[in-house]
Structure 1
Amino acid sequence: MSKLFHVELVAVEAKVWSGEAEAVFARTTEGELGVLAGHAPLFGQLAAPGQVRIKVGNGEELRYEVDGGFLSVTDDGVTVLAETCVPATAAAAH
């Protein structure tokens, strides 16, 4: 089992999701980024439009369509601050 870390996904309007995750994947202006527990601190700008994927336990993966914002990795976990964020539909999932 992978180590878990805390993830916060926040849009301008409200907190969208918060919990423990095994991994976070996002497309930034520098390219696709994958974050696991113990990742080095970083700050990246999300590509617009893009998708944030959160891998939670038991093989489940949450997908959200985002349009702009930032991703921050610290010792406390990952925070995604998106300008807009909506759950991805099954048809839109990649």
Structure 2
Amino acid sequence: MAQHLNVQLVAVEEKVWSGEAEMVMARTTEGELGVLPGHAPLLGQLADSGQVRIKLPGGKQVVYEVAGGFLSVNERGVTVLAETATPASASQGN
């Protein structure tokens, strides 16, 4: 099992962010979802507005405000396909 996730955050017209992460958190229509390495495959619909938080190795976070779209988890990693994705006011450390 990999210790990191390969993450792709894509908006309608461009790749917004890609890289390795320890965890991805997003709000779906079913509620808040956290994805760690080894997570079962799934496809979730993102809530109309919310945040995608990507926890990087070392503890820092990259945070994007997203509106609509989907989150896909498979054996290769996590792909977030958002209608819009803009950086939150500041990246946060934990």
Percentage identity across paired residues of the two chains: 70
CA–CA distance in 2 between the matches of 1:5 and 1:43? 16
CA–CA distance in 2 between the matches of 1:59 and 1:39? 20
CA–CA distance in 2 between the matches of 1:30 and 1:72? 14
Q: Which residue number in structure 2 is paired with residue 15 of structure 1? A: 15
| Equivalent position amino acid for 2:32 in 1 | E
| Equivalent position amino acid for 2:8 in 1 | E
Indicate the structure with greater strand content.
2
1:48 CA drift (Å): 1.1
Q: Which runs of 4+ in 1 moved over 4 A?
A: none
Q: Residues 27-66 of structure 1 correspond to what in structure 2 (within 5 A)?
A: 27-66=27-66
| Equivalent position amino acid for 1:17 in 2 | W
Q: Deviations over 1:1-40 (max 9, x none)?
A: x911100000002000010000000000000000000000
Q: TM-score, normalised by structure 1?
A: 0.92
Q: CA RMSD in A?
A: 1.1
User: 5+ residue gaps in structure 2?
Assistant: none
CA–CA distance in 2 between the matches of 1:65 and 1:5? 20
Instruction: Report SS of the residue matched to 2:73.
Output: strand
1:58 CA drift (Å): 1.1
| Equivalent position amino acid for 2:10 in 1 | V
User: 5+ residue gaps in structure 1?
Assistant: none
| Equivalent position amino acid for 2:78 in 1 | V
